[in-house]
Chain A
Amino acid sequence: MSNLRSLTFDAIIIGGGGSGLRAALELAKSGKKTAVLSKVFPTRSHTVSAQGGITCAIASSDPDDDWRWHMYDTVKGGDYIADQDAAEYMCSEGPKAVFELEHMGLPFSRFDNGRIYQRPFGGQSKNFGEGGQAARTCAAADRTGHALLHTLYQNNLKNNTTFLNEWYAVDLVKNSNGDVVGCIAMCIETGEVVHVKSKATVLATGGAGRIYASTTNALINTGDGIGMALRAGFPMQDMEMWQFHPTGIYGAGTLVTEGCRGEGGYLVNKDGERFMERYAPNAKDLAGRDVVARSMVMEILEGRGCGEKGDHVFLKLDHLGEEVLGKRLPGIVELSKTFAHVDPAKDPIPVVPTCHYMMGGIPTNIHGQAITQDESGNDHIINGLFACGEAACVSVHGANRLGGNSLLDLVVFGRAAGMFIEGALNEGIEYLDASESDIDAAMKRINRWNESNEGGESIPELKAELQDIMQNSFGVFREEKNMQEGVKKLADLRSRIANAHLPDKSNTFNTARVEALELDNLMEVAEATAIAALERNESRGAHSRYDYPDRDDVNWLKHSLYFPATKELKKRDVNFKPKTVDTFEPKVRTY
């Protein structure tokens, strides 16, 4: 029996990062009754940590730049399982979305002619890979994510968006037809649990890098939207595809932007050799992130790593000079001094590949509508459910995301979801109300924690164990036996988490309860990742297997689709039909 207070909106956006705020802005302007529900004050979201920039063919650095070249790079970078209709949409709509951000006030760095500054990033080319390195990443120094997130928050204030800040979404509410009609959410400050009713529920909850022990991700990146969707029985796409960023600071895991290499920095091994010249003779340090990360691990494994343990390499920046570092990479200088105790103007930064980005997520179309698949393999729209940003898998990143494409993804598809929802609301949406039992189903999990008894294991210990399993069995290189053990350990962990104990049951700003709820989500994400990784018997993009070292286009030029109820992995077709350009056919991927 539920006697919950309910809040009713036309649309609820869960997550206050870049994609959520961009979707919210569109809806706020439309006059619809919408709200952003965020577990942190919006400018504390992980978008704030993005550094190097937003990649987009605005033709500033090169007046002849073409979004089709950007699309080619994106598709190639994704090792050909990016959906080409989605990559086409992102790259062609991108300039409009970036100019909008500038008009909103985003303080981009500038060229002498007053246009937005663009820097080279990994995997960028001119003329479909034939014209050499491009410089396509629009930057606000090395604080682009901060500038972008604050600008979006400010413009939401301007447009009177309703915010439910420091509220935590617990689970989706589905009606008896399986439509998503809102969620259960908790006000963190008071502990009050409410039923949020909504015609459109947007999961903009970001990534889940905290499934790994070593990650560039914020502590809040626990895959809450992924967990909610999986518990509601919806499938996840390409969850085996996790990006390891080449340059996380050794020991601390904090990110050092690819923009460092874009500005002319490069990696060296213990012999001082610029080893990327061997692995990627043309692009060198600006090859795809998966390629650079693997090369670094190879150097380390072959005994050419740096430091006492030989377990990292160095990023050399001192030759850029203090002026360039101060102007273009001031945040990196700060981070490096704080976390590596190194002044990059003098000494190289110790770096190691570090979990950074989830290419997979909730499968959606370009309007942000969440998708599931029927028994015969046909796509179906999930009524009422949307996703955008890192939580979604549109898929523009395929098996490996290019640097600077995540910020573009989140503004383009946040905006697209907002526009689509506005149109749908104008046409009229009516779903059956949730029944008492539908609501009770969504309350199950929070009730379980609130009734948990002493004797169950501790939440931080279980979390650490989960992170170690993922780190050890599902890292940069993978192999069947090790992954099978990982899957087994996760299954065991799941039952232990189901009996874990939440000692603090108070209501006021109970962060222990939030961490308990987050642990469930980490568990869902980890298991989906593990099973998908074990079953994709090939190496593609970020998914590298010792036992299947080659790409297998005959069997695996496909998305994987993980179904939580049966824990089965199915396949879904990749879109090879862009609307205005010819298909980019799969080729051998070299840099």
Chain B
Amino acid sequence: MSNLQVSVYRYNPETDSAPYMQEFQVDTKGRDLMVLDVLHLMKEQDSALAFRRSCREGVCGSDGMNMNGKNGLACITPLSDVVKGNKLTLRPLPGLPVIRDMVVDMGLFYKQYERIQPYLQNDTPAPAIERLQSPEERDKLDGLYECILCACCSTSCPSFWWNPDKFVGPAGLLQSYRFLADSRDTATRERLTSLEDPFSVFRCRGIMNCVAVCPKGLNPTRAIGKIREMLLADAT
């Protein structure tokens, strides 16, 4: 039997007074498709089904969603990883306002990213060639710069659900540490000062949902730990 039963979150504010779950039967022809492929087959049945997608290879971060209870990227999640008992339940990323169906309003998430000043700051004059950086210094950026802003981590984080306006969240903090860790960045003090309040960093309770869901295998909790250490060292 290759018919997969998919239950998907639907909501179009123009026509629906409330969200509901819609059932689809999808013929996978026995293949271990990616969840995104399944969504495309569903869209052939109902063109009104809305979801974001772009690269379809796990690098653009468009199709973060909740699949059988766990956040991830639809395009690199094979059915064999998530489907239990031939059933797949798809919901939008939790904790953000839904625009339509699987499409959420990412505004708050992006705002927290912008807040950490996600760009290199260096107050010395730029040389005629590149700034030098040793391979060891560069290695410190591995595991940080690869973030694709898919929001799987922040929207799986209870602290972010509670305080999305005040807690920067795992994605933003991972990027904050990406610049704190960069030997070329000279704004360390300013960056730390802007994070000193009780919420921005310290709302992290070490739950580690972010680590469990990151489709790129990154570890925001560790980065947050490093920022805490820097903040505490700074305070003493």
Taking a contact as CB atoms under 8 Å apart, the answer to whether A512 and B135 are in contact is no
Chain B stretch 1-47: residues in CB contact (< 8 A) with chain A: 12-15, 43-44, 47
Contact, CB under 8 Å: B106 / A154 = no
| A31, chain B: closest CB distance, angstroms | 19
**Cβ–Cβ contact A218 & B130, under 8 A:** no
Count A/B pairs, Cβ under 8 Å. 151
In the bound complex, do residue B129 and residue A339 qualify as a contact, i.e. CB atoms below 8 Å apart? no
Query: Contacts of B182 on A, CB cut-off 8 Å?
Result: 105, 107
Query: Contact string, A439-463, partner B, CB cutoff 8 A, digits 1/0?
Result: 0000000000000000000111000
Verify if B70 is at the interface (C-beta below 8 Å from A).
Answer: no
Q: What is the interface residue range for chain B against chain A?
A: 35 or more
- Asked if B54 lies at the interface with its beta carbon under 8 angstroms from chain A, I say yes
On whether the beta carbons of B55 and A218 are closer than 8 Å, the reply is: yes
Q: Which of B60, B126, B179 has the most CB of A within 10 A?
A: B60
In whole angstroms, how far apart are the Cα atoms of A146 and B54 in the complex?
Answer: 14
Q: Mark B177-210, 1 if CB is under 8 A from A, else 0.
A: 0010010110000000000000000000000000
Task: Report chain B residues within 8 Å CB of A497.
Answer: none
Q: Which chain A residues numbered 557 to 586 have a C-beta less than 8 Å away from chain B?
A: none
For residue B131, which residues in chain A have a CB less than 8 angstroms away from its CB?
A: 102-103
Kindly list chain A residues whose C-beta atoms are within 8 Å of the C-beta of B164.
Answer: none
Stretch of A43-51, A195-203, A224-232 that contacts chain B: A43-51
Contact (Cβ within 8 A) B48 A99: no
Chain B proximity mask over A194-236: 1 for CB below 8 Å, otherwise 0: 0000000000000000000000001110000000000000000
- B120 CB contacts on chain A under 8 angstroms: 103-105, 154
Asked if A147 is an interface residue, CB under 8 A from chain B, the answer is yes
B50 within 8 A of A: yes
Structural contact, A110 and B149, CB atoms closer than 8 A: no
Q: Which residues of A contact B56 (CB under 8 A)?
A: 218-219, 254
Interface stretch, picked from A283-291, A297-305, A348-356, A500-508, is: A500-508
- Docked Cα-Cα span, A114 to B132, in Å, equals 5
Chain B at the A interface: SS class:
loop
A220 — which chain B residues lie within 8 A by C-beta? 54
* B53 beta carbon closer than 8 Å to chain A: yes
Known contacts A105-B119, A218-B60; A43 and B149 CB within 8 A of each other: yes
Please pick, from A114, A254, A339, the residue contacting B133 in the complex, using a CB distance under 8 A. Answer: A114
Give min CB distance, B145 to chain A, whole Å.
5
Which residue of the partner chain, among B50, B122, B132, contacts A511 with CB atoms under 8 Å? Answer: B50
The reply to whether B54 and A460 form a contact with Cβ atoms under 8 Å apart is: no
B72 at the interface (CB under 8 A from A): no
The answer to whether A157 touches B114 (Cβ under 8 A) is yes
Tell me, yes or no, whether A342 is within 8 Å of chain B by CB: no
- Chain A residues lying within 8 Å of B185, measured Cβ to Cβ, are 105
Write out the residue numbers on chain A whose beta carbons fall within 8 Å of the beta carbon of B122.
103
A244 within 8 A of partner (CB): no
Contact (Cβ within 8 A) B44 A460: yes
A509 pairs with B50, CB closer than 8 A:
yes
Besides A143-B146, A147-B145, 8 other CB < 8 A contacts?
A43-B149, A99-B129, A103-B120, A103-B126, A154-B119, A335-B57, A506-B48, A511-B51
